[in-house]
Amino acid sequence: MPKVTFIIDGEPTVVEFEHGKLPYSNHGKPESFLDVAKNHGVPLEHACGGSCACTTCHVIVKRGMDRLTTAEENEEDLLDKAPGLTPTSRLGCQAVIEDNDAVIEVVIPRYTINQISGSHG
């Protein structure tokens, strides 16, 4: 079972789910960080609804990058606009957890370019 630790403001929230059993909530790609977060009540901004049209769901992968799908060109182009970009930055709506034994840790940055909402979620 994949295990994802979301870190918000230094506080970890650990989530585990079974591949293929997570109800798809139409937030980004199925079993993406955004989909997992929304299914488990973890606040992760997503101004565009997870359609890969903004950077508000930007996350920084601290552990387990090799357990995710590879970023596609449209995600990489958008990430160039994300504040606080790092070599392990991904869009939460696009990064899908592939490995059933994955142990992943991601930081949800405090900043966002979403002018509509100033809070996570």
List the chain domain ranges.
3-108
Q: Which two tokens stand for residue 23?
A: 């109800």
Strand ranges, E, within the chain? 3-8, 11-16, 58-63, 89-91, 103-108
Q: Residue 56 contacts by C-beta under 8 Å, 6 or more apart in sequence?
A: 45, 46, 47, 48, 112, 113, 114
pLDDT at 117 exceeding the cut of 50: no
Round to whole Å and give the CA distance between 10 and 19.
27
Q: Average pLDDT of 55-63?
A: 96
Q: Mapping DSSP to helix (H, G, I), strand (E, B) and coil, where does residue 121 land?
A: coil
**92: nearest Cα among 48, 53, 46:** 46
How confident is the model at residue 68, as a pLDDT?
97
Q: Which CATH superfamily hosts domain 3-108?
A: Beta-grasp domain (3.10.20.30)
Virtual torsion, Cα 5, 10, 11, 16, nearest 10 deg: 0
How confident is the model at residue 22, as a pLDDT?
86
pLDDT at 24 exceeding the cut of 90: no
For 82-115, what is each residue's pLDDT tens digit? 989 999 999 999 999 998 999 999 999 987 554 4
Q: In which order are the strands placed within the sheet that holds 103-108? A: 11-16, 3-8, 103-108, 58-63, 89-91
- With cut-offs at 50, 70 and 90, classify the pLDDT of residue 118: very low
pTM score > 0.85 for this model?
Answer: yes
Question: What percent of the chain stands above pLDDT 70?
Answer: 92
